[in-house]
Amino acid sequence: MAQARKKSAAKTPPDLWGGISPDTTWQGRTGRGVRVAVVDSGIDAKHPALAGKIKESVEAVVDNGRVSFQPSTSGDAAGHGTACAGIITTVAPEVDLYSVKVLGANASGSGDMFLAGLDWAIKNRMQVINLSLGTTKPQYFGPLHDLLDRAYHAGCIVVAAANNLPQPSYPSIFSSSLVSVIKREGGDPFNFGYRYGEVIELVAPGVNVRTTWPQGGYRQLTGNSFACPHIAGIIALLMEAYPALTPFQVKAILYAIAMRNQDAQKQS
């Protein structure tokens, strides 16, 4: 009987994450000084809620078939990037935003521009890279995978939104080298969840999210694109608290907190 009791006790693992909780991890943090790239349709730098928070704006241009970047003053004709930036700064109001414009007025763009935008963010050592966009074209699988490996080893934490359509998109399915996010209802960005065993792992608010829109406006928006920046903002808080965190460590902390959130919901 004594041996049986010992075996039973051994099956209960210690609480390895006992010291990790939202209160101790990001209490009093604002994301101050953390470099966050929004690879998207641009950001309206004149929006009152975003004024002074955008440290640099660049946009992709094509010359003789090659993509390069130049300073951008064209703002955001699509609104998508501005909306994502507004969500990030709602969670982490003092981040340093970097707008990397790769999408046009209809929130459309080429895969090559997308790759170039991610490459720019990695080369410029962005601590957090928000990708509320993706591609379903298989020819970009390999190049994106290589870029994400580079980002991982450079310490850049990439957060990617799942496809809104029932079709896998890259890079959100590369869950080993980035943080992938899908939407759910609810308004508390800190009450995010974790889908163990799923390709898209984290679940965050993305339904009827009120956020910034060009020309000083606001909109209620729904989509995985708007769940992604909630997690990007939370990661910025983590990076302010612990600037030396690796992508692996950030994911471990997020998962530990998400599991606790879900355990708390089950008990309530």
Give the orientation angle of helix 228-241 with respect to helix 247-267, to 10 degrees: 110
CB 183 within 8 A of CB 205: yes
Please pick, among 99, 169, 225, 230, the residue that the annotation labels catalytic.
225
Tell me, yes or no, if 80 is annotated catalytic.
yes
Tokens, residue 39: 């690879």
Please pick, among 80, 99, 119, 132, the residue that the annotation labels catalytic.
80
Backbone phi, psi, residue 220, to 5°: -95, 120
Residue from 160, 152, 179 nearest 257 by CA: 179
Backbone phi, psi, residue 111, to 5°: -60, -35
User: How far is 236 from 231, CA to CA, in rounded Å?
Assistant: 9
Find tokens 């089950």 and name the residue.
Answer: 266
Please pick, among 40, 44, 96, 119, the residue that the annotation labels catalytic.
40
Q: Is the dihedral of CA 225, 231, 236, 239 positive or negative?
A: negative
Tell me, yes or no, if 96 is annotated catalytic.
no
CA distances from 220 to 64, 83, 202, 217, 226 (A): 40, 10, 22, 11, 10
CA distances from 250 to 153, 209, 254, 268 (A): 14, 25, 6, 27
Tell me, yes or no, if 225 is annotated catalytic.
yes
User: Three-state DSSP class for 93?
Assistant: coil
Residues with catalytic annotation? 40, 80, 225
